[in-house]
Amino acid sequence: MPQAKIYYDTDADLGVLNNKTIVFLGFGNQGSAQAQNLRDTGIPNEQILIANRVDSYAETAKAKGFNVTHDFGKAAAVADVLFILIPDQVQPRVFNEQFSPVMKSSAVIVVASGYNVFFNLLKFQPGQDVVMVAPRMIGSSVRSLYEKGRGFPCFVSVEQDGTGNGWASALALSRGIGATKAGAIASSVREETAMDLMAEQALWPNIIMMFREAFNVLKDAGCSDEALCYEMWMSKEPAEIFERAADDGFIAQLKHHSTVSQFGQLSGSLKLGGEAMREHFKDILYNQILNGKFTKEFSKIEDDLEKEGLDNPLNELYRRSEEIELVQAEKRVRARLAGLL
Ligand code: NAI
DSSP 162: S
Distance, in Å, from the CA atom of 85 to the CA atom of 34, rounded to the nearest integer, reads: 9
Alpha carbon nearest to ligand 1 atom 24, residue: 29
Provide the pLDDT for residue 2. Answer: 75
CA 26 to ligand 1 center in whole angstroms: 6
The CB of 92 under 6 Å from ligand 1? The reply is no
Look at 190-199, 302-311, 323-332 and tell me which has the smallest mean pLDDT.
302-311
Provide the pLDDT for residue 43. Answer: 98
> What are the φ and ψ backbone dihedral angles of 253, each rounded to 5 degrees?
-65, -20
pLDDT digits (tens, 9 = 90+) for 86-142: 999 899 999 999 999 999 999 999 999 999 999 999 999 999 999 999 999 999 999
Alpha carbon nearest to ligand 1 atom 27, residue: 87
Q: Give the ligand 1 atom nearest the CA of 138.
A: 40
| Max Cα-Cα span within the chain | 69
* 34 C-beta neighbours (distance < 10 Å), count: 29
Q: Give the ligand 1 atom nearest the CA of 135.
A: 43
Q: Give the ligand 1 atom nearest the CA of 140.
A: 40
The CB of 114 under 6 Å from ligand 1? The reply is no
Provide the pLDDT for residue 1. Answer: 57
Distance, in Å, from the CA atom of 9 to the CA atom of 175, rounded to the nearest integer, reads: 6
User: What residue type is assigned to position 173 of the chain?
Assistant: L
Three-state SS for 13? coil
The CB of 57 under 6 Å from ligand 1? The reply is yes
DSSP 201-258: IIIHHHHHHHHHHHHHHHHHTT--HHHHHIIIIIT-HHHHHHHHHHHH-TTGGGGGS-
User: What residue type is assigned to position 254 of the chain?
Assistant: L
Burial of 190 (0-12, 13-18, 19+ CB in 10 A): middle
DSSP 245-289: HHHH-TTGGGGGS-HHHHHHHHHHHHH---HHHHHHHHHHIIIII
Distance, in Å, from the CA atom of 301 to the CA atom of 68, rounded to the nearest integer, reads: 32
The CB of 26 under 6 Å from ligand 1? The reply is yes
pLDDT digits (tens, 9 = 90+) for 240-257: 999 999 999 999 999 999
The CB of 28 under 6 Å from ligand 1? The reply is yes
Q: Give the ligand 1 atom nearest the CA of 72.
A: 20
pLDDT over 90 percentage in the chain:
96
Candidate of 34, 66, 82, 86 to mutate for ligand 1, largest count of ligand atoms within 8 Å of Cβ = 86
The CB of 113 under 6 Å from ligand 1? The reply is yes
Q: Label residue 340 by pLDDT band (50, 70, 90).
A: low
pLDDT digits (tens, 9 = 90+) for 44-67: 999 999 999 999 999 999 999 999
Strands 48-51 and 22-25: parallel
The CB of 86 under 6 Å from ligand 1? The reply is yes
CA 172 to ligand 1 center in whole angstroms: 22
Q: String of b and e for 125-142 (b: at least 16 CB within 10 Å)? A: beebbbbbbbbbbebebb
CA 266 to ligand 1 center in whole angstroms: 41
The CB of 193 under 6 Å from ligand 1? The reply is no
CA 71 to ligand 1 center in whole angstroms: 18
| Contact predicate 313/301, CB 8 Å | yes
The CB of 88 under 6 Å from ligand 1? The reply is yes
Mean pLDDT of the chain: 96
